[in-house]
Amino acid sequence: MCKGFPEGCNPCNRKAVTVTADSWTAPDGTLLGYKVWSSAAPSRGLIVALHGLSCREDDFMPLAEAAAAGGLRLAAWNLRGQGLDPQVHRRGSWLDLDGILIDLKAFVDLVAEPGEPIFLCGDSMGALLALQAAVTKPWPGKIAGLLLFSPVVGLAQKNPAWLKSLLVAISRLAPNLRLKPSWFVHGKSTAPQLTRVAGRQLAVITAPHRLGPTTIGFLASMGDLIDGATPAAEKLEVPLAVFSAGHDTFVTPEQVRDFFAHVRSTDKTHFHYPESYHQLLFDLDAMVVLADAITWIEAHLPSRP
């Protein structure tokens, strides 16, 4: 069994999958790593995935393997400002929604095949980025659906309302000052439990690409993404699938349900896993999560001639 996967979830047993790993040149000239998972069969659709905080493109491997078995492709790249950004000074200090949207368009132009249905997908912080993309031109008319895994649409820890304004003020006076994000999500400097799979938990907290303290400005931008989730939900018109965990350290089930209730689209589905933790694709219910995700995508593929 592959290290970090729950027992019974072994991608190596699935059909042959081709993984293309390379670098692409973003619009500003930065070289960013990416991967595309596919099978030998003609593509039935493309999933474009945005990873979460301190993560990388490989964190979508379980979904990519399952998708490829059904004739779907998945493509993901290492977001700038995260732990694999080749410009080290940006790690933990750059989080710009407009910049991500520029990168997203260029990346899709690079990997998408003509006429290929496109699904946007995001995990945790990446879910918030994908959500904002789905309500920003040109994506509402270009994507077949949106999948959000563990979207942090609120914070379980109740921080005072004035804290964000204070962070913004401090960031102007001391732009290079850094703090650990964990203080604002569960009040401790240590990493929270992200999965019931011990091997995966250890792999996450010891990963060389894991971010340490981030700048105050980075934290304020994260706050903007969280605050912007519900307003975006009220504009969202594309088909939506939300996947949430009952033991998510960062966001409560009630906050996710409230977000889901505000979604404008009438084609929306909420999959909830009461015993799971934040990293749904690497928890004990991963096989169920993957089956639900692929079934939902299958149901939203455009009809073939």
Can you tell me the distance from the alpha carbon of 280 to that of 252, in angstroms, rounded to the nearest whole number?
15
DSSP β-bridge partners for residue 243: 149, 271
Res 6: pLDDT: 47
Can you tell me the distance from the alpha carbon of 93 to that of 112, in angstroms, rounded to the nearest whole number?
30
Can you tell me the distance from the alpha carbon of 171 to that of 218, in angstroms, rounded to the nearest whole number?
9
Q: Are 197 and 282 in contact (CB under 8 A)?
A: yes
Res 11: pLDDT: 45
Comparison of pLDDT for 162 and 260, the residue scoring more:
260
Strands (E), the chain: 18-25, 31-38, 45-50, 72-77, 118-123, 145-149, 178-179, 214-215, 240-245, 268-273
Is a pLDDT exceeding 50 seen at residue 8?
A: no
pLDDT (mean) for 136-159: 94
Is a pLDDT exceeding 50 seen at residue 222?
A: yes
- In 3-state terms, what secondary structure has residue 45? strand
Start-end of H helices in 8-156: 61-69, 97-111, 125-134
Which whole-number Å values give the CA distances from 32 to 85, 101, 111, in the listed order?
A: 7, 15, 14
Instruction: Please give the mean pLDDT across all residues of the chain.
Output: 91
Q: What letter would DSSP give residue 248?
A: -
Comparison of pLDDT for 295 and 305, the residue scoring more:
295
pLDDT (mean) for 190-205: 93
pLDDT (mean) for 234-247: 98
Extents of the domains making up the chain: 11-299
The pTM score is: 0.92
Token readout for 17 is 């999958």
Token readout for 119 is 């699904």
Q: Are 78 and 53 in contact (CB under 8 A)?
A: no
Q: Tell me which fold the domain 11-299 belongs to.
A: Rossmann fold (3.40.50)
Q: How confident is the model at residue 10 (pLDDT cuts 50, 70, 90)?
A: very low
Q: Are 217 and 174 in contact (CB under 8 A)?
A: no
Q: Are 43 and 71 in contact (CB under 8 A)?
A: yes
